[in-house]
Structure 1
Amino acid sequence: FYRAALAARRRYARGAGGEVRFLDAPDGVIAFRRGRLSVFLNCGTAPTPLPDGDVVICSGERPVSDLAPDDAVWILTG
């Protein structure tokens, strides 16, 4: 996962300009964006709806509609 995350960052976020911007998210979810790449980490105990976009990488099973607890997903938007 770590290597896939570094590759995704190089491909989608390098040169994106701007700073990391934290996003509004449900309780227990950390979410931020840089350029077109958004990262969501579900630290809660319940699944949370997955935002729209193309999944670049995920830490667990590839989510279909919800992000499972203790999973992270990187999503390409726009």
Structure 2
Amino acid sequence: MKKKILTTVMAVGIVAGSMTSATSLAATQTKVTFDGTTISFEVDPVVREGVTLVQFRPIFEKLGYTISYNGATNVITAIIR
């Protein structure tokens, strides 16, 4: 009986702890900087399964690339200036 209660208490603690971590992670805003300047995005960076997803265009434009998109072929091209 004591083992079952202890297991239940531990399970509740783990679930509550993971909920707190997820809430803290969502509240933290990811910032991307290049040469000390923060890069702005139309859509905020997102962390999914430990991977940070960001928009392609703002980063590559900051690196000196010209970006074009062909809607007919769904191809993105990045050409260094």
TM-score, length of structure 1 as denominator length: 0.27
Larger relative contact order (Cα-Cα within 8 Å, sequence gap ≥ 6): 1
TM-score, length of structure 2 as denominator length: 0.26
In terms of fraction of residues, the more strand-rich structure is 1
Higher Cα Rg, which structure? 2
